[in-house]
Amino acid sequence: MAMKEEFKRIRHEYGKKVLLESEIDQNPFKQFKQWFETALDNKLLDANAMCLSTVSDKGRPSSRILLLKDFDESGFCFFTNYNSKKGIELEKNPYASMVFFWPKLERQIRIEGIIEKLDTTKSDTYFKERPIGSRMAAAVSPQSKAIESREELDQMIQDFSQKHGNQFKRPDFWGGYKLVPDLFEFWQGRENRLNDRIEYKLEEKLWIQSRLAP
């Protein structure tokens, strides 16, 4: 396979900022909030996009990008189809990880923990806030299933729209999840790949902080 060789030479030197124990918040949720607000202030494209990894009951991992829609000290929320590949995997194995990467800030955040379904009221509230097109897509698309063609999907949307207009409720198979973390890692790129990595692990209800080797 012919391939441009330049990509092997891609080598960005990090070093805009540092992450020091003396400056980092003792509470990882507050630290997340601080970095997330900086990402928003910097108007990064899809600053709330993260990679969610799930693992099948056979131990096989799979990853995809999702949008973080809410967070507080109880966890990190996203919305999706409960019958999707991730939904089925989470049903059998509720452990998952999220990773945010903000290249402009030379930062990465990893979060690991256990996933819970959001209660139906929260899912209803968020569903109502979505634009009509997204609500319809959520209600119609059999996410992660094989479909015949693009035309079939477009037809399904058209049929649904004719039947229901914009008068329909959140389907039971679509809603929110919350990742309840027991591990965070904040990563700041540094010179010569000697990056700063600060991990927080939840041990007996206390967040234990350690510096990890880059």
Ligand X SMILES: Cc1cc2nc3c(=O)[nH]c(=O)nc-3n(C[C@H](O)[C@H](O)[C@H](O)COP(=O)(O)O)c2cc1C
Contacts to ligand X by CB under 6 A: 46, 49, 62, 64-67, 78-80, 84-86, 143-144
d(CA 184, CA 29): 9
17 versus 69: smaller Cβ distance to ligand X: 69
* Residues annotated catalytic, as ranges: 193
Identify which of residues 87 and 181 has a Cβ nearer to ligand X in the complex.
87
Closest contact distance (angstroms) between CB of 77 and ligand X is 10
Q: In the bound complex, what is the minimum distance in angstroms from residue 164's beta carbon to ligand X?
A: 21
Q: Give CB contacts under 8 A, 24+ apart, made by 199-205.
A: 200/28, 200/31
Question: Min. distance of Cβ 14 from ligand X in angstroms?
Answer: 24
What's the closest the beta carbon of residue 177 comes to ligand X, in angstroms?
10
User: What distance, in Å, lies between the first and last C-alpha atoms of the chain?
Assistant: 33
Tokens 């966890």, located at residue: 75
Give the burial class of 188: count Cβ atoms within 10 A of its Cβ; 0-12 exposed, 13-18 middle, 19 or more buried: buried
Chain centre to alpha carbon of residue 157: 27
Q: From CA 94, how far away is CA 98, in angstroms rounded?
A: 13
Secondary structure letter of residue 93 according to DSSP: -
Partners of 182 in the beta sheet?
none
